[in-house]
Amino acid sequence: MRFALFGNTHETGKSVHAEQLLRILAHYGDEVYASPDYYRFLCSGQDISIHPVGVINDYAAQHIDFAISLGGDGTFLKAAHSIGNTGVPIIGINTGRLGFLADVSANEMEKFFAKLHEGHYTVRERSLLELILNDDSTHPHYALNEITVSKHDSSSMIAVRTTVDGEHLATYMGDGLLIATPTGSTAYSLSAGGPIIYPQADVFVLTAVAPHSLNVRPIVIADDKTLQLTIESRNGSFLVAVDGISSSYPEHTTLTLRKAPYTTRVVKQEGSTFFHTLQKKMMWGTDPRE
């Protein structure tokens, strides 16, 4: 098998997991290619003689069987953005804390890859959001978790006028507005008071961030709808974050959001379900008195 490897380059203390992974893949005679930044990280501190590692190039990218994200959910999102619409399934090895997307723990790697090579795994499809700015469809942005519109500073609110298929929904006054996929419903949206959405549900959720009005509540809409946002801000600009990566734009920039034309494919262990993940990662339904 051929694997594309993406990893966390900020925590050198977790390099032991990279060495463990390379030993496992060497055992099966797999080919390993790393993203350029992770390749430099591996060369700077790890003994890659354990298993030869190449740098992902155009040829390798076209012949990859699986991508591996070695880190937390942030690393997984980075891998998903790099993989794009190629359809390559992504394996998430969790060396972080919660790990909703990266749900194979480091101590499960040996067992997991044995099962993978035997063909015992499942692949789940996850929908994404497409963002177009000012009707410029030649440079779309894609988010697996969420797209967030927020104010630049802490001194004033922004107004986010929102329409759904051309019909006015609301003008959100507050710190901002986030639009999340079902995958992103357990991330920022959940922290802001949004609902948990089953990953394969065909919906998006709109969650206001610190709304000025107490009667504003999250709303779930079908993902075949098109959203359009226009923003007014006291300082004349606002921030747009795509899966946590922020850029600044002038007010009255038009944002069009809809379901992306492709999905991200996520590899899961046999027997792993969303409800099991909720119970395991979030202590869902656990009685604190027990």
Q: What is the pLDDT of residues 223-270, one digit of tens each?
A: 999 999 999 998 899 999 999 999 999 998 999 999 999 999 999 988
For domain 2-119, give the fold: Rossmann fold (3.40.50)
Q: What is the mean pLDDT of the chain?
A: 90
- What's this model's pTM, rounded to 2 decimal places? 0.90
Q: Which of 57, 58, 68, 76 is nearest to 30 (CA)?
A: 68
| Torsion angle (degrees, nearest 10) of CA 57, 58, 64, 67 | 60
**Tokens encoding 51:** 């298993």
- Under the banding of pLDDT at 50, 70 and 90, the label for residue 41 is confident
50-75 pLDDT tens trace: 677 888 877 667 889 999 999 988 99
Catalytic: 175?
no
CA distance 221 to 128: 14
Residue 48 has pLDDT above 80, yes or no: no
For domain 128-261, give the fold: Tumour Suppressor Smad4 (2.60.200)
**Domain boundaries defined on the chain:** 2-119, 128-261
112-162 pLDDT tens trace: 999 999 999 999 999 999 999 998 889 999 999 999 999 987 768 999 999
Catalytic hit among 30, 47, 73, 135: 73
Residue 45 has pLDDT above 70, yes or no: no
Q: Return the bridge partners of 125, or none.
A: 265
